Amino acid sequence: MACSPVPEEAIGLTPKVFCRLLRFQEALRLIENGQWISWTDLALDRGYFDHAHFIHDFQAFSGLTPQAYLAQRSPYRNHVPLPE
């Protein structure tokens, strides 16, 4: 996935963080359909070096592992219900 450089002043993020966020958003879009997911294939297809780098970014942006996200997700992308 190519990411064009965007000045930090324009969006408040460095270009590297912005590209990481775009990659994370694309991963969320791909897992929405509820089908079985190969996390390694998803990571490599999205341009991560390996599965561990994907998991690291996923936890950094969501606070959850991908598996925990799937278990707790709601019908809305980028939303996980807060504990009562």
- Whether the pLDDT of residue 8 is over 60: the answer is no
- Whether the pLDDT of residue 84 is over 70: the answer is no
Average pLDDT over the chain reads: 81
| 5: Cα within 13 Å, side-chain hemisphere | 1
pTM, full prediction = 0.74
Supply the pLDDT for residue 53: 92
CATH of 11-72, one of 1.10.10.60, 1.10.357.10, 3.40.50.1220, 3.20.20.70: 1.10.10.60
* End-to-end alpha carbon distance in the chain: 38
- Whether the pLDDT of residue 54 is over 90: the answer is yes
11: alpha, beta or left, given left = phi > 0 and alpha = psi -120 to 50?
alpha
